[in-house]
Amino acid sequence: MFAWAYTARLVRGQVLSLREREFVDAARIMSAGKWHILFRQLLPNLWAPVLISFALAVPQNITTEAALSYLGVGVIPPNPDWGALLSDASQFFLQDPMYLFVPGVLLLMLVLALNLLGDGVRDALDPRAARG
């Protein structure tokens, strides 16, 4: 719910940077309208940073939600949740440590995999990245 602010700041910064570029000036000189500049010049250059932002925000949101659920202020108990599972398992840690270890490792693997996927998306779509 609150994660959109970072993406909005990123988009605003990109638009402020892109509107000073030569291809936008060329479109203005050719008397292109504001909607043409927006949809044909700016938006195609904005989709990669927005996609990268969302790809990197997903693991952060999963971790935040699991932490809130672990503290008891997340998802309501009949629904399955990583944090609630870890919270329930912490009561039985001394009897069976695997009950806590398995969901913790799986949550770690999920977040790590999504972070690596986000980094891969960023490397694939970032035009300023060095390819070599």
Per-residue tens of pLDDT for the chain, all 132 residues: 677 788 888 889 888 888 888 888 888 888 888 888 888 878 888 888 888 888 888 888 888 888 888 888 877 778 888 888 888 888 888 888 888 888 889 999 999 998 898 888 878 877 666 554
Residue 130, domain member (yes or no)? no
Q: Would residue 11 count as lying in a domain? A: yes
Query: Which pair of tokens denotes residue 110?
Result: 């999920």
Q: Is residue 16 part of a domain?
A: yes
Torsion angle defined by CA atoms of residues 52, 55, 57 and 63, in that order, rounded to the nearest 10 degrees: -150
Task: Establish if 53 belongs to a structural domain.
Answer: yes
- Total domain count, the chain: 1
Give the list of residues 6+ apart from residue 14 with CB closer than 8 angstroms, or none: 45, 46, 49
Q: Which domain holds residue 84?
A: 4-125
For residue 131, tell me if it sits in a domain. Answer: no
Residue 81 lies in a domain: yes
> Which residue, among 114, 117, 6, 5, has the nearest Cα to 66 in the 3D structure?
114
Domain assignment present for 25: yes
Contacts of 76 (CB under 8 A, 6+ apart): none
